[in-house]
Structure 1
Amino acid sequence: MPNLPPLILRVIELIKRYPGVIALGGFISGVGSFILVDRQQGMASWIAVIMLVSWLWLMLENSFTQLFTKLFNREIPEPLLRYATQMIHQESLFFVLPFFFVTTAWNSGQSVFTGLLGAAALVSIIDPLYYKWLAPKRSLFLALHTLTLFAALLTALPIILHLTTAESYKLALGVAMALSIPSLAVSLPLRSVKGWAMLLGVTAAIGCAGWLLRSWVPPATLWMTEVAISTQLQDRTPGDDLKQVSAAQLRSGGLYAYTAINAPRGLDERIYHVWKFNGQEVDRIALDIHGGRKEGYRAWTHKQNFPPDSVGRWQVRVLTEDGQVIGVLRFNVTDSAQTDNPK
């Protein structure tokens, strides 16, 4: 790499020798941001802004490199650009992982999405996989690129702009669809109208799939800090968390589904408690929550109308306005007057 200052050469060598340092830095910044969001401190917004600025540079890389060449009459070496791209992938993936790890409902399809993020993060720090397996496959490389940006936007937008989870998802999905076009253009022939129609059709299919599978994507900045199914609620505090309830208890006073949900300061969000009986929805109740409380915004629903035969498996699914799963409360109803209620 001729005509490079010794300092830049030294930086490149250090990155090559210690590729995990960038990932570790991203993970630490992600954990730090998660803690700051949990404590409702504004510094998390600045960390998220810095991460998105790096993506702005990445998306405008060609323009910036041309401007650099014009101003300084020197080209930025290709290896340095590759390392910069890898660094942004590493930093972004390890930044978002703490958020998605905590907010994932692991017994649902959300585990697939978070698992993909984890696999992408591992690939980004293993040079043989990243450079020899992933990078030469342009469509696969841009797929990782798009997935990483999608996850980064889902995490950063509610923190920075106080967008609701539904608004953030729509915007992030739109950007992901736009970025999928270059990767698809590599694989599809665009020399005819049919090729362009295929490109638009596949892009639309990706958008539809992303929308239909939105329940598989965890709401990165919403998580439950306390939950309970209880027959009692006093001073905004639930009674014992019940796993089994008798039909007689349901008829006598109904049940409370209590959730305390952590959200970034300034975020107002509508959520739903969806009551399900043996897999079938029987009630959907809207609740408005407000971010900013360290212990989470406390909200509950009190269901008193149950089917005549209510014995069986029950769930209360806590959903965002667009159907993303925040968490699930489960309990069983028995026909016995005496129930064993483990906490």
Structure 2
Amino acid sequence: MPIWKTIPLRLIALAQRYPGTIAAFGFASGVVSFFTVERHEAFARVIAAVMLVSWIWLMLERALRRRIERRFGWTIPIPVLRYGTQMIHQEGLFFVLPFLYTATTWNSGQALFTGLVGAAALVALVDPLYFRWLSTRRWVFLTYHTFTLFAVLLTALPLVLHIPTGNSYKLALGVAVLLSFPTLAELVPLEARWRKWAVVALMLALGSVGWLLRLWVPPATLWLTEVAVSTSMDSLNMQAGERLRTVTPAQMRDQGIYAYTSINAPLGLEEHIYHVWLHDGREVDRIALDIRGGRKEGYRAWTHKQNFPADARGRWQVKVVTDAGQMIGTLRFRVEGDAAPAP
């Protein structure tokens, strides 16, 4: 038998003899990804491509295995395939986790999404959960893989294509919705025509829900590196003055308030963001900013608000959001003291 045929057989036999080594390699590779985030663009491109190819493999797995068996005289055992997908899931999830962890606003619904990604990573590490519960239920397994792919694309697309976060969210969501078809088709068999329309309706509903919940999804490649609320700004050195947690109405009236943010963004990325000013939970102003990525210390930008309600006392927030509505972070301060005199 030619050597190019015997090598795969030897590798398969080795994997069957020592199956835990594949899972251990996937875990170690994932941990390395966690601590070497600076690989950024090149690694993101590889991970995204591998996730897409592995999804295609999952869809055509049975046909491809039969074709390989007819062509080469051997077949790939199912356990070996599952160890391979486990490694891919570990690598992908541990790649995106540090981005999401850094970008998440933890006192918001974003904590739920990041928690789900963390739970998915835990499932990929625990063999009994992954092999005895997840991989034996095909529709659950496909859902898990599609969710992992969605998280990977959210992180990889801005790094690889340098497209705004809003566009990357739309593209990642669109891919996830399209790839949900096989899962939904298993849940709703397609023998009758009305069931096909039911699957399409479910896909549209899934896309709508995903879009409505975008506020709960962190913009993985954007995060605040420095924030400040101040009554002064050194525009020459691009630094905020004294950082304040409490402001008096007189200070607001006489000097206005600066909301200073330094935002980390990937090299080559241009992003349109907003500072949304809220008073006691009610939006009172929305100011647009354009940022550019690549600065190690983050892109520094600020807004200066001088028009305030007659009684500005209470809780103030400045939410930093993308043009798609994803929240990058929040600045908070309170206005306390005597109200401004009536004009």
TM-score by length of 2: 0.90
Instruction: Give the structure 2 partner of residue 25 of structure 1.
Output: 29
TM-superposed CA distance for 1:118, in Å, is 0.5
Q: Tell me, which stretches of 5 or more residues in structure 2 are unaligned?
A: 1-5
User: Do residues 82 (structure 1) and 102 (structure 2) align?
Assistant: no
Distance in 1 of aligned mates of 2:54 and 2:255: 58
Q: Which deviates more, 236-245 or 99-108?
A: 236-245
TM-superposed CA distance for 1:45, in Å, is 1.4
Are the structure 2 counterparts of residues 222 and 66 from structure 1 closer, same or farther at C-alpha, using a change threshold of 3 Å? farther
User: Do residues 246 (structure 1) and 236 (structure 2) align?
Assistant: no
Are the structure 2 counterparts of residues 193 and 161 from structure 1 closer, same or farther at C-alpha, using a change threshold of 3 Å? same
Letter in 1 for 2:121: A
Instruction: Give the structure 2 partner of residue 120 of structure 1.
Output: 120
Which of 265, 268, 271 is the matching residue for 2:270? 268
Are the structure 2 counterparts of residues 12 and 171 from structure 1 closer, same or farther at C-alpha, using a change threshold of 3 Å? farther
Letter in 1 for 2:160: I
Instruction: Give the structure 2 partner of residue 290 of structure 1.
Output: 292
Instruction: Give the structure 2 partner of residue 57 of structure 1.
Output: 53
Distance in 1 of aligned mates of 2:201 and 2:138: 20
User: Do residues 311 (structure 1) and 313 (structure 2) align?
Assistant: yes
TM-superposed CA distance for 1:21, in Å, is 3.6
Distance in 1 of aligned mates of 2:34 and 2:159: 13
Give aligned-pair identity as a percent. 52
Q: Counterparts in 2 of 1:85-234, with a 5 A limit?
A: 85-234=85-234
Are the structure 2 counterparts of residues 244 and 147 from structure 1 closer, same or farther at C-alpha, using a change threshold of 3 Å? same
Instruction: Give the structure 2 partner of residue 277 of structure 1.
Output: 279
TM-score by length of 1: 0.90
TM-superposed CA distance for 1:253, in Å, is 1.0
Native 8 Å contact 1:24 1:94 kept in 2: no
Letter in 2 for 1:333: V
Native 8 Å contact 1:217 1:324 kept in 2: yes
Distance in 1 of aligned mates of 2:17 and 2:334: 60
TM-superposed CA distance for 1:18, in Å, is 6.5
Does the residue aligned with 2:180 lie in a helix, a strand or coil? Answer: helix
Letter in 1 for 2:169: Y
Are the structure 2 counterparts of residues 259 and 12 from structure 1 closer, same or farther at C-alpha, using a change threshold of 3 Å? farther
TM-superposed CA distance for 1:254, in Å, is 0.6
Q: Which deviates more, 156-165 or 52-61?
A: 52-61
Q: Deviations over 1:33-69 (max 9, x none)?
A: x2x2xxxxxx521111221232233123237656644
TM-superposed CA distance for 1:14, in Å, is 4.0
Are the structure 2 counterparts of residues 152 and 13 from structure 1 closer, same or farther at C-alpha, using a change threshold of 3 Å? farther
Q: Which deviates more, 7-16 or 52-61?
A: 7-16
Are the structure 2 counterparts of residues 60 and 189 from structure 1 closer, same or farther at C-alpha, using a change threshold of 3 Å? closer
Q: Deviations over 1:73-113 (max 9, x none)?
A: 33222221111111111110111101101100000000000
Does the residue aligned with 1:202 lie in a helix, a strand or coil? Answer: helix
Instruction: Give the structure 2 partner of residue 39 of structure 1.
Output: none
Instruction: Give the structure 1 partner of residue 3 of structure 2.
Output: none
Are the structure 2 counterparts of residues 168 and 65 from structure 1 closer, same or farther at C-alpha, using a change threshold of 3 Å? farther
TM-superposed CA distance for 1:241, in Å, is 1.6
Are the structure 2 counterparts of residues 231 and 64 from structure 1 closer, same or farther at C-alpha, using a change threshold of 3 Å? farther
Distance in 2 of aligned mates of 1:221 and 1:65: 38
Letter in 2 for 1:46: A
Q: Deviations over 1:134-170 (max 9, x none)?
A: 2222222222111100000011111111111011100
Report runs of 4+ in structure 1 exceeding 6 Å deviation.
none
TM-superposed CA distance for 1:240, in Å, is 1.7
User: Do residues 48 (structure 1) and 50 (structure 2) align?
Assistant: no
Instruction: Give the structure 2 partner of residue 73 of structure 1.
Output: 73
TM-superposed CA distance for 1:181, in Å, is 1.1
Native 8 Å contact 2:185 2:199 kept in 1: yes
Letter in 2 for 1:24: A
Does the residue aligned with 1:220 lie in a helix, a strand or coil? Answer: coil
Count of residue pairs brought into register by the alignment: 327
Q: Tell me, which stretches of 5 or more residues in structure 1 are unaligned?
A: 37-42, 338-343
Distance in 1 of aligned mates of 2:131 and 2:321: 39
Distance in 2 of aligned mates of 1:277 and 1:227: 19
TM-superposed CA distance for 1:292, in Å, is 0.9
Instruction: Give the structure 2 partner of residue 340 of structure 1.
Output: none
Native 8 Å contact 1:27 1:98 kept in 2: no
TM-superposed CA distance for 1:27, in Å, is 3.0
TM-superposed CA distance for 1:19, in Å, is 2.5
Does the residue aligned with 1:5 lie in a helix, a strand or coil? Answer: helix
